[in-house]
Structure 1
Amino acid sequence: MNNTIEEGKTAAITSYILGIGVFIAMSMNAEDKNPFASFHIRQGLGITLTFISLGLIISNFDSMMISAPMWIFVSVLWTYGIFSAIKGETKPMPLVGNLYQKWFKSIS
């Protein structure tokens, strides 16, 4: 198990580079299908899509009162996810992590 975590750690951490990181991590994990990396790729993809979706919705409002909570929410999830990957844990992000695992279960 520890060997699996160490082998997948680079791809797992890379998946949290918002935007392009998920695709880089997917290509890194394409051959070996490391379960630890796959877990974090699903989490990273979820946070990236959440960031883009909320950004598109919130960009219609020109208010710091609306955009600041989105940035805080995404930042907390991102921090939680990347530290979980660094520590070698597979704990889903609060609130949305289990949904990401369910929605993106075909990504391995």
Structure 2
Amino acid sequence: MENNMTTTDNGKTASIISYFTIIGWLIAYFAMHKDNKTELGSYQLRQTLLLNIIAIVLGWGVSFILGILIVTTGILSLVYISHLVQLAIFIIWIIGLIGAINGQKKPMPIIGEKAQTMFDSI
């Protein structure tokens, strides 16, 4: 009984740590999950991997495109689009983190189910 509780706690800890940047994800995966896989840890790691990838790609892509648009049009208020994208990612992150803290396998909005099929080997 005690080993089962430890396994659940390790999965929860890895789940929570994976939400803190890509470095947190790498620590959670390699130091905590790789040799002691749990269902909860796998579930949350898949979600946070996709969230990190999306955040990086959107961050660079939106910044690049908006930078070009701002330079060519001079409309500085286009920066607010970047802020809206960042806010959306942050809200999705908070929802996922709350699920991890509660030890739930609750999918993040928009990306949760896709992450489970894209990274099913984790």
**Structure 2 length normalisation: TM-score?**
0.81
| Identical aligned residues as a percent | 36
CA distance in 1, matches of 2:35, 2:97: 23
Provide the alpha-carbon RMSD of the alignment: 1.5
Structure 1 runs not aligned, ≥5 long: none
- The runs of at least 4 aligned residues of structure 1 exceeding 6 Å deviation read none
Aligned match of 2:47? 43
TM-aligned CA deviation for residue 3 of structure 1: 5.8
Equivalent residues of 1:18, 1:48 under 8 A apart: yes
Aligned to 2:20: 17
Counterpart position of 2:34 = 30
Cα distance between partner residues in 2 of 1:78 and 1:55 = 15
Higher percent of residues as helix: 2
Q: TM-score, normalised by structure 1?
A: 0.91
Query: Gapped runs of 5+ residues in structure 2?
Result: 68-77
Give the residue type in structure 1 aligned to 2:22: G
Figure out how many residues of one structure are paired with residues of the other and give that number.
107
- Rg larger in structure: 2
Give the distance between the partners of 1:4 and 1:99, measured in 2 at CA: 26
